[in-house]
Structure 1
Amino acid sequence: MNLSQMTKEELASFKSENEKLYNDFKSQGLCLNMSRGNPCSEQLALSLDMLKAFDDGNFMSECGNDVRNYGVPDGIPEAKKLFSEMIGVNTDEIIIFGNSSLNAMFFAVQCAFNKGILGSKPWSEYDKVKFLCPVPGYDRHFKVTQFFGVEMINIPMTPTGPDMDMIEELVKNDETVKGIWCVPQYSNPDGICYSDETVKRFAALKPAAKDFRIFWDNAYCIHHLTDSPKYILNILDEAKKVGNENIVYVFGSTSKVTFPGAGVAVMGGSKENIDELKKYLGISIISHDKMNQLRHVKFFGTFKNMQEHMKKHMSIIAPKFNLVCDKLEKELAPLGIGQWTTPKGGYFISFNAPNGCAKRIVSLCSEAGVTLTGAGATFPYGIDPDDKNIRLAPTYPPIEDLSKAMDLFVICVKIAAAEKLLAE
């Protein structure tokens, strides 16, 4: 029976039954963590042979640089070739960073504040700078712009991507709107892939600010969960078609491909954008870890091999995503409680509880030993106006632990939903 159709007496009984189940879980002393999208140990093991990459004693890049030494601050050419294919840019339109794409994003924002973009006024000279933030979205994106004191504006997500009507209206009328955060393929946390129309509208934006930039974080471009993956249009190609190639910065990394703490991060864009950022990069660093760049090249060889490698990841984590969705469908769908996504890729499942229940659910789970991403984390400033969105991260726990965590989660959802209805 749908929970909203129950009488007060039935709701009270339903709540009591689930509280008994909840107390049983509390007595088990669980300590399970589903708070971040970390690869599990089996995934990390897939790349262990990379650590043997230099057993042959060859440390030379094809450009003649010994990768153990200084030099080549923007990345060795063979790494540029491999990773330019991954993010869809030319080899002269890419910078190879260290292990963190978030660091590359921070660098780009910092340069805009300190030096401006392509001759425009530095953002620090404005009384106010604004960023558009599709929600729910990636909490660490929002923390970057919050750090710089940027005013963040929520943009609702739709099944085809962010609300483009709203975006077009905001950027064309306000030159203090300087950027937008995007996770275009398997968005964090919804798992939405931007439609062709959405990508084309992004590429053709006509902002009042000449220094407006789309921060296109294509973090999950090769992280598929099915054998029929979803692909998106190449935004830089689309922007070039309409003479607007400077509008976008593209980011990616191997953080969830090889080792999160020792991957390779990249940034792509128009040659004009990249050439300017390379000048600033050369002031801040002599070179990133070129040994790691060459290690990745030796391990994968080709982008096709990297794609094949990701199928091994899929075989490990797809069953975990299926388990989560099956539990939600079996336990909550008949009761009409909440909504959730069934992504075809990426690292998260987005769960929308009844309004006003997310914090309560996360708190109940925590008290019983299961740590979730904080309620509100998927919104700027950590404020979900409806208190409903919870990001579920299935990848890290062993599947037996994940099953226990989800059994507890659905109980907590039932309790919170019953409490809300009883209070109305």
Structure 2
Amino acid sequence: MQPEALAPAMNGEGTDRPRWKYMDRILSRPGGYTDEDYDPDTPANNIEAAKILVIGAGGLGCEILKNFALSGFKNIDVIDMDTIDVSNLNRQFLFRQKDVGKSKASVAAEFVMKRVPGCKINAHICKIQDMDEDYYMQFTIVVCGLDSIEARRWMNATLVGMVDMENPDSLKPLIDGGTEGFKGQSRVIFPTMTSCIECQLDMHAPRAAVPLCTLATIPRQPQHCIEWAHIIKWDEERKDIQLDTDDPEHITWLYQTALARAQEFGIAGVTYSMTQGVVKNIIPAIASTNAIIAASCCNEAFKIVTSSAPFLGNPEQNNYMLYTGDSGVYTYTFEHQKKDDCPVCGNLPKDLPVNPQSTLGELVESFAERPESQLKKPNMRTEEKTLFYSAPESLRQQTEGNLKRKLGEMLVDGEEVAVSDPAFTIDFRYKIRFS
């Protein structure tokens, strides 16, 4: 169905309440899943007062913004620094050909506000890291429709760090949705109370690495040329600039460098969108999967705000929904348990088994492959000394001599090590265990 066909329902003629009569019918009376003290007079007021933050205005974000507006939410912010590409038009239905090159957040906000009068959406064309805690503190719920594991981890760590046990309003529920082709998931996280993104990180296995010798000498696929520009050429020519995969200028440089490499070896197929997909590890999205996962995310937000039904993450409830549509339509929920040694929300450092005869350099390289960390530029230190810094360059030069030293010479069994990465706001705490 074309969006134009939705105009009567979305525009809503007459007063506000007739427009939402289908929703009022649900909320105006208790049901089989509502609490005994459910008050039918408060849900609609809660929806009117709720402030929702949507992070991402792409395939998931477009669906999420539309769903919230049609559910009666009127105070929404959206953050996305990306611009519209022609390849987005087949599934990001708020955009048109004339919008190519414009900001996703701005175009999506304007489209929805035009179709749903009374809904106010503030668009922010920036990175989530550009906003401070005071900004995030104003929202009732944060909903992520991101295509980046790193951005999810940053947002998760920020919300966990905001929690003040003496201020209940500082706890902001995080609803996260993600899709990979015909598969997807939605999950509800109550920071410090339920398992967080970092607790669940081992469910996202690191992508298989291409041997450096292939990238450097005999590329055979367009992806090899892109990885060469990403892993090798960037450090050679722009090592003083930290690569930002959300910066269009950085992606353009990688694309042009990879394209020149591909032409040198007679390889076709390097495009801007492929470059973005390889660098950010994006799996092509499918519109139907986006619609299903976005509906689940918005349904959970609706239940949290209105208390009309149990939501994912409720005490003694499952907190994770998985969907697969590659051989039928199948969903199920389960409880992903909170980890005591989670480096973000846990209280204990995680045990790190190492061979005392291996080198510090081998340990540093392993952090990129470990499912529970996936750190690209780790810095390591103990309470007493600095072991290694990947950046800045001045500290790297001072500490890179340690990379050849054996761990048994530098650390003792049971010693705690703090590992950080420029992409995150937290330190990952490990306890060394010689094995």
* Range of TM-score over shorter length: under 0.3
Relative to its length, the structure with more helix (as a share) is 1
Which structure has more relative contact order (CA 8 Å, sep 6+)? It is 1
